[in-house]
Structure 1
Amino acid sequence: MTEKELQLLFHALSDPIRLKMVKMVLKHGDLCVCNFLDHFNLSQPRISFHLRILREAKIFNSRKEGRWVHYSLNKDNEALNKILPLIDKVVKDDFNKILCEVKDG
């Protein structure tokens, strides 16, 4: 990992919304954009902004499935793997059940 990559990682994790996003994916696995839209009271462009920062910091991987993008933790990020237990312990979650009912049409 380079110094620049470490800066991007800590910058991405410095925001409480992005920390909660990481905790959501840590707890529930692969999540769709709609899951974040349902949980946070933010616009879709604002959610996309946060997700872009998490992707650029190599915290999240993304894959497109139909109209939706799904996000997962980047298991290859060694620095992230070292701090995930701390995130899991410290970041409070208020999401027990995550649902996404995608309605195309």
Structure 2
Amino acid sequence: MASKKGNYKIPFNAAGDQQHYPEMEWVSGKRVESVMKDNFVFDDTLKFDGTARGRSAAYFYFVRSSTGTRVTVFMKEFSEMMPHLIRGSISGKFTFIKRGENYGTAFLGAEGK
């Protein structure tokens, strides 16, 4: 399925991590829904932090150096990022994408370009 870039909201958890799928979580014994934020472009350095499987997709975790929060990257976008990785990190411009019901992060290019 093709990815969709555009004007739609992206799910984040209470800690500020971008979610692969909007889900309710429990924080201090209280139910907390995902915070849906407008899509945006950002400059940052992302550092590889592991892998996971969702309902219907495998994805990678990266940590943003500017905020310490995590974002998810689909396998397809990860393969496009691989030539730009240096010791597990990648710097540049990023945005969020939607594929089906899932959300991820896409590399747009080097910073300043």
The TM-score bracket by the shorter chain reads under 0.3
Answer 1 or 2: which has greater helix percent. Answer: 1
Q: Which has the bigger relative contact order, CA under 8 A and spacing at least 6?
A: 1
Answer 1 or 2: which has greater strand percent. Answer: 2
TM-score, with structure 1 as normaliser = 0.28
TM-score, with structure 2 as normaliser = 0.27
